[in-house]
Amino acid sequence: MSTKEVGDDAEAVALEHLLAHGLVLVRRNYRVARGPRARGGEIDLIMRERDGTLVFVEVRKRRSSDFGGAAGSVTFAKQRSIVFAAQQFLRHFSTLPPCRFDVVSIEAGRVQWLRAAFDAA
């Protein structure tokens, strides 16, 4: 299985998990660029809570928790990339909704949903 296929499968598992907890899918794989040749960022899943909160979700999958595990692999640089993409997504809103950055980690078949895993500051 290719890395892309593994990632797609992990996103599908995470999406199913979040839908089962009452969230609604807004957008999948939202990508932005910083310029013609510069990558900006990607958000795996953008979901909405029942209360209207937009949830920007990073999905990570690892075979084991060695070397920090799946959640530990969301580095500061990756967080900044996600925040940048979220800021671009939010430009389309006249009134900003409440927002949150979550991580869904999948290790050894176990799904862990980390709400408010990091913030935009």
For residues 83 and 6, the model is more confident at 83
Confidence (pTM): 0.90
Taking a C-beta distance cutoff of 8 angstroms, is the pair 104, 14 a contact? yes
7-59, pLDDT tens digit by residue? 788 899 999 999 999 999 999 999 998 777 777 789 999 999 999 999 999 99
Q: Could you give the domains of the chain?
A: 3-118 (3.40.1350.10)
112: β partners: 105
Residue 103 confidence (pLDDT) above 70: yes
19 touches 34 (CB < 8 A) = no
Q: Distance between CA 3 and CA 37 in Å, rounded?
A: 23
Helical (H) or strand (E) element with 26: strand 24-35
pLDDT digits (tens, 9 = 90+) for 54-68: 999 999 987 656 556
